[in-house]
């Protein structure tokens, strides 16, 4: 098979042996694989794949057709359209994944949208509802509302009855984020629009001090992105005054069972909304496997609405 390979922080496309599904695993012919911030960090040597995942083939999410099953894999049949979260290896023509880390692809999603669905919607749903306990009527602030996780979070919160504000750096992108269900503002002076019950931090440390100032009583800050920096100085007196909480969350390093639980919640609560047309997966651009370098460059440029997806 052909795969995107990281060698000394450079991307190449190389031939690799076809993977064989093990016990409880399915083999998927990949039709779409989203590019995520974790892939960018892995390329720079800052976010290695977890043990058991390919160390040199990036890709945390994929969609495609089941083309093989290992011993004991019975949840999906060959030919089924599926999407998955993997520890790595998604940006290739073939990938193996345990069937518990797989979910069916809703009929309305084409391959690019399906390839960019699983990681961002599972991440956003887990952060907003499992971690932060977002409730109807509460006020949510999403930092980085134009990206994949940002657009997912805006839609999920809107569907749950929350009032959503999103910071979007590019002014021309704000109308599209507003169409998805948020009040879109610039990142400067966001605290003036608070207080917020939940703040979803996708940018990183530079926002944390002002996040505390914008937090409502008993508010919650969930940090799931640190692309702009990981270290910040905080005024803990503000945290005490609001009885607030700061928490962090990632999906990639979780054990299979924890990932599977998060995905079953998405199957139960999110897939019906996709089926009905209430949620969409904005795709900014698609690239072939051979153009992976351009896909990563496009992701790094930022400023786009939705996902960058590699389509083998």
pLDDT, one tens digit per residue, over 41-78 is 899 988 888 888 999 999 999 999 999 999 999 999 99
pLDDT at 303 over 90: no
Residue 46 sits in the same domain as residue 151: no
Question: Which of 231, 248, 265 is where one domain is finished?
Answer: 248
Residue 239 sits in the same domain as residue 137: yes
pLDDT, one tens digit per residue, over 8-20 is 889 999 999 999 9
- DSSP E strands: which ranges in the chain? 2-7, 10-15, 25-35, 61-69, 81-85, 94-98, 102-104, 139-143, 163-167, 183-185, 196-201, 215-223, 245-248, 283-287, 307-310
Work out the average pLDDT over 246-275: 94
Question: Which of 202, 218, 248 is where one domain is finished?
Answer: 248
Contact predicate 308/149, CB 8 Å = no
pLDDT at 229: 87
Mean pLDDT over the full length of the chain? 95
Q: Is the pTM of this model over 0.85?
A: yes
pLDDT at 250 over 90: no
Residue 64 sits in the same domain as residue 81: yes
pLDDT, one tens digit per residue, over 223-248 is 998 888 889 888 899 899 999 999 99
Residue 126 sits in the same domain as residue 209: yes
Residue 87 sits in the same domain as residue 131: no
> Which of 34-43, 72-81, 89-98 is predicted least confidently?
34-43
Print the domain residue range for 204: 121-248
Residue 286 sits in the same domain as residue 237: no
CATH of the domain at 209: 3.40.50.720
**Chain Cα centroid distance, residue 87:** 13
The two structure tokens encoding residue 37: 């911030």
Residue 139 sits in the same domain as residue 193: yes
What total of structural domains would you count in the chain? 2
If one compares 180 and 251, the residue with the highest pLDDT of the two is: 180
pLDDT at 265 over 90: yes
Residue 127 sits in the same domain as residue 225: yes
Residue 179 sits in the same domain as residue 240: yes
Decide: residue 116, CB within 10 A, 0-12 exposed, 13-18 middle, 19+ buried.
Answer: buried
Work out the average pLDDT over 159-165: 98
DSSP 175-244: HHHHHHT-EEE-STTGGGG--EEEEEE-S-GGGHHHHHHTEEEEEEEEE---TT-S-----HHHHHHHT-
pLDDT, one tens digit per residue, over 128-145 is 999 999 999 999 999 999
- Residue holding tokens 């069937």? 99
Residue 178 sits in the same domain as residue 288: no
- Residue holding tokens 């590699």? 310
């Amino acid at each position: 098979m052909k795969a995107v390979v990281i060698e000394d922080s450079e991307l190449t496309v190389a031939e690799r042996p076809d993977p064989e599904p093990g016990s409880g695993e399915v083999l998927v012919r990949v039709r779409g694989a989203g590019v995520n911030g974790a892939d960018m960090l892995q390329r720079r040597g800052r976010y290695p794949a977890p043990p058991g995942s390919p160390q040199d083939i990036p890709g945390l999410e994929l969609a495609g057709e089941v083309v093989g099953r290992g011993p004991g894999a019975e949840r999906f049949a060959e030919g089924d359209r599926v999407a998955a979260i993997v520890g790595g290896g998604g940006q290739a023509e073939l990938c193996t994944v345990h069937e518990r880390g797989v979910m069916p692809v809703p009929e309305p999603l084409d391959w690019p949208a399906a390839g960019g669905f699983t990681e961002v919607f599972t991440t956003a749903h887990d952060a907003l509802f499992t971690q932060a306990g977002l409730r109807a009527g509460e006020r949510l602030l999403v930092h980085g509302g134009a990206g994949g996780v940002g657009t997912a979070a805006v839609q999920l919160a809107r569907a749950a009855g929350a009032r959503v504000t999103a910071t979007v750096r590019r002014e021309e992108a704000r109308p599209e984020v507003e169409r998805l269900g948020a009040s879109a503002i610039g990142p400067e002076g966001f605290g003036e629009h608070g207080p917020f019950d939940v703040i979803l931090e996708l940018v990183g440390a530079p926002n944390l001090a002002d996040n505390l100032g914008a937090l409502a009583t008993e508010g919650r800050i969930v940090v799931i992105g640190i692309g702009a920096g990981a270290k910040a100085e905080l005024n803990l007196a503000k945290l005490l005054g609001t009885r607030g909480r700061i928490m962090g969350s990632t999906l990639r390093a979780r054990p299979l069972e924890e990932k599977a639980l998060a995905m079953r919640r998405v199957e139960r609560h999110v897939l019906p909304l996709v089926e009905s047309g209430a949620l969409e997966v904005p795709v900014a651009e698609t690239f072939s496997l051979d153009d992976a370098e351009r896909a990563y460059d496009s992701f790094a440029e930022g400023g786009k609405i939705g996902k960058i997806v590699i389509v083998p």
